[in-house]
Amino acid sequence: MDLTRQFDINDEDGEHDHFVQIHCELLYAPDQLLRDLGSFTSWFFHDSDDNIDRWAEALSGRLEALSGRKPTEINIYEERV
């Protein structure tokens, strides 16, 4: 699982220059339950019309398979996008 937070970086005039993403990647020992989850991406943007509670609730079912598991590896890194 890759938890990512994106930041808008502005230039000295206050104009958008680029984005930076900070990743916290949690790796788990593979098993069939986790393989069955497949791959998916979900983003939440505060300036959208989406409701954060609905968004979090939709994710909770997918994340349930990780309950009680400990990651085998944790990687934290920054990426310019």
In a domain, 81, yes or no: no
* Confidence band, pLDDT 50/70/90 cuts, at residue 62: confident
In a domain, 79, yes or no: no
Q: What is the dihedral of CA 23, 34, 69, 72, to 10 degrees?
A: -60
Please state the domain count of the chain: 1
Nearest to 81 by CA among 31, 9, 15: 9
Average pLDDT, integer, range 54-78: 90
In a domain, 63, yes or no: yes
Largest CA distance in the chain: 51
In a domain, 80, yes or no: no
Average pLDDT, integer, range 47-53: 85
Q: Is residue 20 scored above 90 in pLDDT?
A: yes
In a domain, 16, yes or no: yes
pTM across the whole model: 0.77
In the numeric block, which tokens belong to residue 30? 């593979």
Which domain range does residue 18 map to?
2-74
In the numeric block, which tokens belong to residue 20? 């930076």
* Confidence band, pLDDT 50/70/90 cuts, at residue 59: confident
In a domain, 9, yes or no: yes
Contact by Cβ (8 Å): 20, 6: yes
Average pLDDT, integer, range 27-49: 87
